[in-house]
Amino acid sequence: MGVSGRVAVVTGAASGQGRATSLRLAGEGALVAALDVDAGGLASLVDEISDTGVRCRGLEVDVSDAGAVAAAFAEIEADLGRAYVLAAAAAIYPPGVLSHLRDPDETARIFDVNLMGVVHCASAATRQMIEEGRGGRIILWSSIGAGAVIAGHAAYCAGKAGIEGLGRALAAELGPYGITVNTIAPGAIDTPMLSDTPPDPAYYEVLPAGRAGAPEEVAHLVSYLCSDASGFMTGAVLALDGGLSGVNGAVRPDV
Ligand SMILES: NC(=O)c1ccc[n+]([C@@H]2O[C@H](COP(=O)([O-])OP(=O)(O)OC[C@H]3O[C@@H](n4cnc5c(N)ncnc54)[C@H](O)[C@@H]3O)[C@@H](O)[C@H]2O)c1
């Protein structure tokens, strides 16, 4: 059965990896509830999916707002049904600023969106999954920044490290309900987030893959994690980074 006919809630759905995930899951017959703050991006996603004859609902929601998230999940349940999938991609990556110089309010905002936003969505989604009693699939987005240094992005890195801990703890708590929780830790992926803050060209020189990933490559992994075949995989942190996490600073041999 997979995701066909089931409700998939995707956050950060208006752009990049969330958008590719929404299109992928809709292509597999999921009823996609697309959450984002970007109304225009949501409208074009909903049009694109609706044109294929699959139902999709766009909800303009700031995931850091617990009340708005709860209201959105209530609306999703009433309109499409209870969530089976939560793919929580929404995040912000403000320009690099040394942490002792970054405005504390901006630091708090990064944690509110990137960490608490995921907590609010996971909390609302798991209530519905447990009530429905048919298990579920939760996919979280970390980053190579959780395990490697990205100077100037301390709050982003700390938030993403928090996501990895959250994912492992949720996997343990939700296993008895047949809900799996896995975290993807992408490297550079070709989305607006990357084009706004491009890495140094030297990054690609040491990267075994030698290029950025495509959002569709991430969506392919999400599709597997949502499938019935992935039931034994939970609590995992999956690097999808073109080999960066194995390089350890060594230069790619010129062979
Ligand atoms: N692109 C990369 O190189 C890269 C690398 C590592 C990790 N990531 C992670 O991948 C995930 C997806 O990012 P992306 O590359 O698709 O970036 P993106 O900027 O294309 O998409 C992020 C989406 O999140 C939305 N968003 C931002 N704040 C929000 C809020 N408060 N409420 C709801 N929606 C909000 C944005 O409007 C946007 O549509 C993020 O968690 C990001 O941290 C990205």
Supply the pLDDT for residue 250.
Answer: 52
Rounded distance from Cα 43 to ligand 1 centre (Å): 17
Q: Which of 156, 177, 204, 224 is catalytic?
A: 156
What pTM, to 2 d.p., does this model score?
Answer: 0.97
Q: Which of 73, 143, 193 to mutate to test the pocket of ligand 1 (most atoms within 8 A of CB)?
A: 193
Does 222 sit in the ligand 1 pocket, CB within 6 Å?
no
Supply the pLDDT for residue 243.
Answer: 94
Task: Order across the sheet with 237-240: list the strands.
Answer: 56-60, 31-36, 7-11, 83-88, 136-141, 179-186, 237-240
Rounded distance from Cα 91 to ligand 1 centre (Å): 4
Question: What are the average pLDDT values for consecutive 10-residue runs of the chain, which has 255 residues?
Answer: 96 98 98 98 98 96 98 98 99 95 97 98 98 98 93 96 98 98 98 91 90 98 98 98 80 49
Tell me what percent of the chain is helix, strand and coil, each rounded to the nearest 5.
Answer: 50, 15, 35
* Cβ–Cβ under 8 Å, residues 73 and 128: yes
Using CA atoms, how far apart are residues 104 and 107, in angstroms rounded to an integer? 5
Supply the pLDDT for residue 160.
Answer: 98
Nearest residue CA, atom 30 of ligand 1? 62
Supply the pLDDT for residue 157.
Answer: 96
* In the chain, domain spans: 7-243
Q: At what angle do helices 66-79 and 117-132 cross, to 10 degrees?
A: 30
Rounded distance from Cα 92 to ligand 1 centre (Å): 6
User: Is 156 an annotated catalytic residue?
Assistant: yes
Does 62 sit in the ligand 1 pocket, CB within 6 Å?
yes
Q: Which atom of ligand 1 is nearest to the CA of 41?
A: 39
Rounded distance from Cα 15 to ligand 1 centre (Å): 7
Supply the pLDDT for residue 248.
Answer: 66
Supply the pLDDT for residue 249.
Answer: 56
* Cβ–Cβ under 8 Å, residues 50 and 26: no
Q: Which atom of ligand 1 is nearest to the CA of 114?
A: 41
Rounded distance from Cα 87 to ligand 1 centre (Å): 12
Domain 7-243 is found in CATH 3.40.50.720: yes
